[in-house]
Amino acid sequence: MQTATTDAGAPVLQARGIGKVFGQHRALDGVDFEARAGEVHALLGENGAGKSTLIKILTGAYQPDEGEVLLNGAPVAFRDPLQAQAQGIGTVYQEVNLLPNRSVAENLFLGHQPTRFGLIRKSVIEARAREVLATYGLEIDVRAELGSYSVAIQQIVAIARAVELSGKVLVLDEPTASLDRNEVQRMFDVVERLKKRGLAIIFITHFLDQVFALSDRVTILRNGRKVGTERLQDVTATDVVRMMLGKDLAFEHHPTGINEGPTGPVRVEFNGLGKAGRVAPFSLKLHEGEVVGVAGLLGSGRTEMARLMFGVDLPDSGQVSVDGKPTTIRNPAQAVAAGFGFCPEDRKLDGIFGDLSVRENIIIALQAKLGWFRALNRDEQDEIAGQYAEALDIRAANHDMPVKLLSGGNQQKVILARWLAIDPSFLILDEPTRGIDVGAHAEIVRTINRLREDGLALLVISSELDEVVAYSNRIVVMRDRELVAELSGEDIAPAVIVKAIAENNTGAA
């Protein structure tokens, strides 16, 4: 493991007590952060932890509601990313934001060409480009189109451009996500060079091994708050995972006593289900009256697993059987016909129909299952919507109002109601408590327990370890797009889960 021996550099970019609120949702709350000259500072957190909001504030895309940003000790208020860039903060994203059909040299200096009497001088630009790229260990034909090079080289050109234009702070936002292992190494070499030149580098990724390989310090965010900043030489992967998944966890066996093991018969069985590049083949049985929790970091393949089960993505191997009968599931419509339900992680994108009414949002899956010609009439719709709205305590002024006017928690309950209305035998919940307030949070957890008691088979994906532990009969752990552990009984404890996630963390690239 590569760790820095010094943190002697002076703070270049500092954030103090940053708070940011979107509507009713608090995205950041009192977050402190600093990046020092000559260090690589990793920023970690699950989806919704506040990483991207913090980065957007540091790079001028958002303005903070509370707190201040300091550059070299002086408070700054960037209007936009261009201003931040002009003052020394450059950003490189996963998707290269350059012009693939222009030459490398042009891309490097676009908008900032060295000119003479107002004329762009090609030969000068090209010579300068060669010079600059040489300092990154890159010797390529700078006259060739950028698009003719690999993504890794394009990334390095993007980094070089950001550093040339800015020069103090470099923000790398998931830069390695589309690179292979050799390319990642090449990128790391470049980052090492820049570190030696005294840049402050902020590194955002969800690959733990890369954090340890490259970074000096790590700051971990969770639910909009800072969990801590640690020197990586002082912590283990397990520590980091624990911080990401549950800062307030009481690391002991949970007391609910529900994990005695399933009693009901097998409801659904997935046998060797997999899709190349998404999830390695896995097998899993779910029983009646059983909750199986899925733990794993972002990008570990947990959502991909659920999508395969529900036919959103087409598996290229494996079989499914429901109540012992082989069943074909090649699209969500077939999954719904088989009695499956799926509350997706991205509620807004994949879940709610914003302009449709609460009532229509609740009955839509049942109606899809019934088909076009067996339309539920208005009275039936009202009855079903009323029944589940009451059961789940959905708070809406009336059921004819557009669902987009409801709060996040109530929207989540509407989607849950939609699936309960089809009387499902197997329900997948992907991050059911994300982005909803604490009260609704507890209600959803209570509902999960009630559904279990009603005999449903449930698969619940969650980054909230304390929650998963509280309601799961069994827990499967995903890592690097693979199902790596199945925990039951005594093993359903945060410490064991964290260990399973962090164990052998040899690279997810």
> What residues does 116 pair with on adjacent strands?
119
Nearer to other proteins, 223 or 357 (CB): 357
Nearer to other proteins, 6 or 398 (CB): 398
Closest contact distance (angstroms) between CB of 129 and other proteins is 38
Closest contact distance (angstroms) between CB of 427 and other proteins is 13
Nearer to other proteins, 292 or 329 (CB): 329
Nearer to other proteins, 189 or 400 (CB): 400
Nearer to other proteins, 78 or 340 (CB): 340
Nearer to other proteins, 356 or 391 (CB): 356
Closest contact distance (angstroms) between CB of 458 and other proteins is 17
Closest by alpha carbon to 270, among 106, 483, 472? 483
Closest contact distance (angstroms) between CB of 445 and other proteins is 23
Q: Report the phi/psi class of residue 83: left, alpha or beta, with left for phi > 0 and alpha for psi in -120 to 50.
A: alpha
Nearer to other proteins, 294 or 335 (CB): 335
How many Å apart are CA 208 and CA 212, to the nearest integer? 6
**Residue environment code for 359-378, b if the CB has 16+ CB neighbours within 10 A, otherwise e:** bbbbbebbbeeeeeeeebee
Nearer to other proteins, 216 or 360 (CB): 360
Closest contact distance (angstroms) between CB of 405 and other proteins is 11
Closest contact distance (angstroms) between CB of 356 and other proteins is 6
Nearer to other proteins, 118 or 371 (CB): 371
Closest contact distance (angstroms) between CB of 456 and other proteins is 18
Number of H helices, E strands in the chain: 16, 22
Closest contact distance (angstroms) between CB of 368 and other proteins is 4
Closest by alpha carbon to 213, among 478, 4, 479? 4
How many Å apart are CA 60 and CA 78, to the nearest integer? 5
Closest contact distance (angstroms) between CB of 410 and other proteins is 16
What does R_g of the chain's alpha carbons equal in angstroms? 25
How many Å apart are CA 234 and CA 228, to the nearest integer? 13
Amino acid residing at 266: V
Nearer to other proteins, 144 or 401 (CB): 401
The phi, psi pair for 343, rounded to 5°, reads -95, 105
Please count the other Cβ atoms lying within 10 Å of the Cβ belonging to residue 52. 18
Q: 184 Cβ partners below 8 Å, 6+ apart?
A: 176, 210, 509
Nearer to other proteins, 380 or 454 (CB): 380
Side-chain half-sphere CA neighbours of 64 within 13 A: 25
Footprint of other proteins on this chain (CB under 8 A)? 310, 312, 331-333, 335-337, 342, 344, 349-357, 360, 364-365, 367-376, 400-402, 418
The phi, psi pair for 299, rounded to 5°, reads 85, 5
Closest contact distance (angstroms) between CB of 424 and other proteins is 11
Q: 154 Cβ partners below 8 Å, 6+ apart?
A: 96, 98, 100, 146, 147
Closest contact distance (angstroms) between CB of 388 and other proteins is 15
Structure tokens at 437: 């307030």
Provide the terminal-to-terminal Cα distance of the chain, rounded to the nearest Å: 16
How many Å apart are CA 295 and CA 485, to the nearest integer? 10
